[in-house]
Amino acid sequence: MFGISKKAITILFGLLALAFAVGAILLFTPQAGQQARGKPVLWVNGKAVYELDLLRLQGNDPLYAANPQGLLKTLVDTHFLEQVILTEALKQDAARIRVGSAEVRKEVDRIREQFGLKEKKAYEQFLNQVGYTDAQLRSEIKTQLQIQKRLEQIRSAAKPTPEEVRFYFEVHQEDYKGEPRLKARQIVVDEAKLAAELLAKAKAGEDFAALAKQYSKVGAEQGGALGAGPGESEPKPVTKVVFPDKVAEAVFAQKGPGLVGPVEAGGRYYLVKVEEYLPAKVPTFEEIKEQVEKDAQAAKGNGALEAYLENLRQKAQVRFAEDSPFSYKNLPVAKVNEQEILLAQVLQPVFSNQQTAALIQQGLGDLAVQFFLPQTLESLIERELLVEAAKKSGKPFIGSKDQIAQAYLLYETRGLTATEEEARRFYAENPALFTIPASAEVTGVVFKAEAKAKAFREAALRGGDLQALAKAQEGTVTEYGTVSPNQLPAVLDRLVFKVKETFPKGPMGEVSEVVKLEDGTFAVLLVKNRKPEVLKPFNEVVEEAKERVILSKRQQKGQALVQELRKAAKIENRLSQVLAELTPKTQEPAKPPTQEAPKEAPAKP
């Protein structure tokens, strides 16, 4: 089901991205004269697309690299040709857009600079490599600029009404919610003892601003007032970014006035006096009207682009040669009330997903078909139901279909709240969400010979210069920095976080035993600043817990809403039948997955 996420920006069915992707491939695809381009394979609005041009495009498509066969070949062909058809239709429609020679020249200059082709000879060699003359390159660039201008023309012409802008703000209010802020003063010193003494003085009632002027290494002239400019001494509202992370966490966890610290961060000690805590809030429409108008304009532009590209494709007159070497089978795979969903609409998000492409290249294309196609079709069906419901609501939703579907869910699940009791229960049931993971500062030294690794380890326990000790034993040093579990290579991760708590200590920190790695080399780890995982106290995360409870409620309500829409709709899902029809008789038809599916799903279309 469609998740509820902040400002979900979609790829408009992927059509826009595909148009540019294919255009980019065409830009650097050698072109020959018509007589050397082979036979026409298809015609788009009467204009022929030739066999050799398609074969060159195929060579740039990773889906063909694994030489797909049978059903998978038919699906890949259909997806590929749909891109070609849309791109050709888009080029034809954009041909009327005016592009001057100066614009083309500027783009040629940019390309020459990007590829290091400033010298005439280098540029001519480049043209020869890609099979272009200068005139052909300029012609292709002109076409690309026409497409860009046409798409921008469509986008910019879509102006939201005042009613749409206000409703957009009503639906997306949470996106504009600011960060919590506070007014405070701080004292920053280099010694823990001094920091403790200053805390005692502040608690005894001494003036904090005066103490800051006398002792603080930062902002002394402003009496430690955060947010104050030169010559000012009164604090102004600031966010977490003014503090080191560790200090910010402690200061904002208090959620009210009072003294915090000393907190050590980066070798310094921070003492903070919070004068006023300002919770995060949603600004009024008038306060951010200009930004909302820009966001609504972008959303309406997305919707206009999506509608334009879909209409362009629907109107395109396409004819295939009888002896075409490609299989194009763009059949209806589902119907939601009166709205059809075609196979190519499902293939686009599936085949555009990197995980799917990787599976196909590994020879696991059948898994992609069996798992990702049904899952993606279900998402498209749900999207269709939500868009239809949004239209029937009479509310001025704007955006692409994805944006409208998600906005409708946001609108219908608004106003939910969470009590502190619910937050506490969620906190108890989901401790991992509120736990600071264990961490350690890790340096690895790798050796080809075990004896050299052992010699280094003995030397490291005595101390000395790390680089010199490693070099003496022909070791390679890798600074991993501060890491948490599952961030190191598997063997090293187990060594640091799972095998034992600490190693023998030397002047350079903890020194691990020698461990053999999977590639046959030997490693020794140096570990500093080891910290165990820590469950944050409930009072520090109560607001986060409430937000998570509300998110959970919204997801549950959204799922229930979709189920209601499903029950009331007439839905026909023919995907399995279509795949069976397209499967060659010598190949087993695709079946639903019977084992655990991959963890990642393709991005929602």
286 φ, ψ (degrees, to nearest 5): -65, -35
Highest mean pLDDT among 58-62, 349-353, 598-602: 349-353
For residue 468, pLDDT over 90 is answered with yes
Which pTM value belongs to this model?
0.77
Q: What pLDDT, on a 0 to 100 scale, did the predictor assign at position 572? A: 95
Share of the chain above pLDDT 90, in %: 48
For residue 556, pLDDT over 50 is answered with yes
57 φ, ψ (degrees, to nearest 5): -65, -40
pLDDT-based confidence at residue 336 (cuts at 50, 70, 90) = very high
Write 490-499 long-range contacts (CB < 8 A, 24+): 491/515, 491/517, 491/518, 491/523, 492/442, 492/444, 492/523, 492/525, 495/525, 496/440, 496/442, 496/525, 496/527, 497/438, 497/440
As a whole number, mean pLDDT of residues 484-498 equals 89
Query: Is the CB of residue 506 less than 8 Å from the CB of residue 460?
Result: yes
DSSP 8-state class, residue 174: G
Residue tagged 């000012």 (tokens): 232
Q: What pLDDT, on a 0 to 100 scale, did the predictor assign at position 89? A: 93
As a whole number, mean pLDDT of residues 264-271 equals 86
As a whole number, mean pLDDT of residues 445-452 equals 93
DSSP letters for 314-326? HH--EEE-TT-SS
User: Of 320, 281, 552, 295, nearest to 398 (Cα)?
Assistant: 295
As a whole number, mean pLDDT of residues 96-115 equals 89
- Does domain 6-23+36-157 sit in CATH 1.10.4030.10? yes
User: Of 103, 102, 101, 85, nearest to 93 (Cα)?
Assistant: 85
In this structure, the number of other CB atoms found within 10 A of the CB of residue 355 comes to 16
Q: Which has the minimum average pLDDT: 17-21, 39-43, 373-377, 519-523?
A: 17-21
What fold does the segment set 179-278 form as a domain? Chitinase A; domain 3 (3.10.50)
DSSP letters for 418-480? --HHHHHHHHHH-GGGGEEPPEEEEEEEEESSHHHHHHHHHHHHH---HHHHHHHTT-EEEEE
What is the three-class DSSP state of 597? coil
In this structure, the number of other CB atoms found within 10 A of the CB of residue 170 comes to 15
As a whole number of angstroms, the distance between CA 450 and CA 517 comes to 11
Q: Which tens digit of pLDDT belongs to each residue from 268-292?
A: 899 899 988 988 888 889 999 999 9
As a whole number, mean pLDDT of residues 299-328 equals 92
For residue 41, pLDDT over 60 is answered with yes
Q: Edge-to-edge strand order for the sheet containing 181-189?
A: 181-189, 268-278, 258-265
Q: Which has the minimum average pLDDT: 13-27, 162-176, 488-502, 562-576?
A: 13-27
Q: Edge-to-edge strand order for the sheet containing 571-573?
A: 339-342, 332-336, 571-573
As a whole number of angstroms, the distance between CA 498 and CA 492 comes to 10
Domains of the chain by residue range? 6-23+36-157, 179-278, 437-534
Average pLDDT, the chain: 85
* % helix, strand, coil for the chain, step of 5: 55, 15, 30
As a whole number of angstroms, the distance between CA 321 and CA 159 comes to 42
Fold agreement between 179-278 and 437-534: yes
Beta bridge partners of 435: 535
Q: What pLDDT, on a 0 to 100 scale, did the predictor assign at position 121? A: 87
Residue tagged 């165990």 (tokens): 532
As a whole number of angstroms, the distance between CA 183 and CA 234 comes to 9
Q: State the number of CA atoms in the 13 A half-sphere of 247 facing the CB.
A: 26
As a whole number, mean pLDDT of residues 562-566 equals 95
Contacts of residue 529, defined as CB under 8 A and 6 or more positions apart, other chains included, come to 439, 440, 441, 482
For residue 25, pLDDT over 50 is answered with no
Q: What pLDDT, on a 0 to 100 scale, did the predictor assign at position 601? A: 40
User: Of 403, 406, 161, nearest to 306 (Cα)?
Assistant: 403
Share of the chain above pLDDT 70, in %: 91
Q: Which has the minimum average pLDDT: 56-60, 339-343, 520-524?
A: 56-60
Q: What pLDDT, on a 0 to 100 scale, did the predictor assign at position 36? A: 62
Write 22-27 long-range contacts (CB < 8 A, 24+): 22/57, 22/83, 22/84, 22/86, 22/87, 23/87, 23/91, 23/143, 23/144, 23/147, 25/57, 25/60, 26/57, 26/87, 26/140, 27/140, 27/141, 27/144
DSSP 8-state class, residue 587: S
pLDDT-based confidence at residue 590 (cuts at 50, 70, 90) = low
CATH code given to domain 437-534: 3.10.50
In this structure, the number of other CB atoms found within 10 A of the CB of residue 290 comes to 9
With vertex at residue 22, the alpha carbon angle to CA 21 and CA 25, rounded to the nearest 5 degrees, is 90
